[in-house]
Structure 1
């Protein structure tokens, strides 16, 4: 897409997490692929796919690569009994071989009726790239018509206190969930894409908060 026809927009949403929530609990919630995907109110189906099937192949920004959080050894992609092995591309290890990236990829189908006629079909198929990071989750979504969204989900001390280490409750201030979205798409589509994000974020955050509240009972 020619640069003069495309544009970039950003959004940021913050929600306080329930009192008593630990950093470990919040990170575990973000790392639960099946739950995370279920938070999408338009999602009708999803399936894990090998990163090697994506064009362009998945990559990680340097700011993400240096803060990757290892997945638990018993974790596997949602909808699959085991994670795909040897499919990811990455950096070089000490022997010069490709070092796998800590990414998991999915094909997700959304049913969206609010899109103006002629822009997209109501059935929108996108690819998701998930990477766990030290303070949360990095997600890249590629949708039809060259729409790309990159989102950082971060758990931090309430009030913008930065990254929270360990598994404490965050003290008196508690914790908050921060969603930072960067979208790149046609200038003709940016208003639609941004509007969809603004219309749904409260529901998505509420479901995540509800999951954490259940865990505290």
Structure 2
């Protein structure tokens, strides 16, 4: 049977600067305000109550301005709910958007030496001991998956670059 639903996965790795410690990278990842503001399309966000079933998860209502979506898919602004849960090595971020879109992203701080040689060859910058590893899974209808995947691919280098820029700032 033909299905209109589809999925896509993405994997991005950025080496962190040599002066970056695990604790500092994790501190920045656990700063949800910082993470949400890394989004180049962010218009605004507000905090929602945490779900009673997961009190350690923080919930947000986020509005993005997205002027490059195909006509009729969404308005120029998209409002969605985002759940962010801190983990021992990063965060898990789940977005639930209109039209049934669910995007699950993990950002982890990992030792560079634990990356495989093929994966290490795909990184963007840096020579440090630690790497930021982002894994994304997008589930939605076929056309929406392609659009969201394209936006993720277009934006990740800038998002990771802005994250790296915050690592050197004072806490």
What range describes the TM-score normalised by the shorter chain of this pair? 0.7 to 0.9
Alpha-carbon RMSD across the aligned residues, in angstroms, is: 2.0
Partner residue of 1:139 out of 85, 88, 93: 93
In the alignment, the residues of structure 2 paired with residue 25 and residue 195 of structure 1 have an alpha-carbon distance, to the nearest angstrom, of 30
Q: What TM-score results when the alignment is normalised by the length of structure 1?
A: 0.70
1:103 aligns with 2:102: no
Give the drift of 1:30.
Answer: 0.5
Q: Which residue of 1 aligns with 2:151?
A: 196
Q: Match of 2:138?
A: 183
Q: TM-score, normalised by structure 2?
A: 0.88
Q: Greater strand percent: which structure? A: 2
Greater than 2 Å deviation, 4+ residue runs: 159-162, 213-216
Aligned residues: 161
8 A contact 2:20–2:130 mirrored in 1: yes
Gaps of at least 5 residues in structure 1 are: 53-87, 91-100, 163-171
Matches of 1:184 and 1:191, distance apart in 2: 10
Larger radius of gyration: 1
Gaps of 5+ in 2: 117-126
Aligned-pair CA distance for 1:89: 1.3
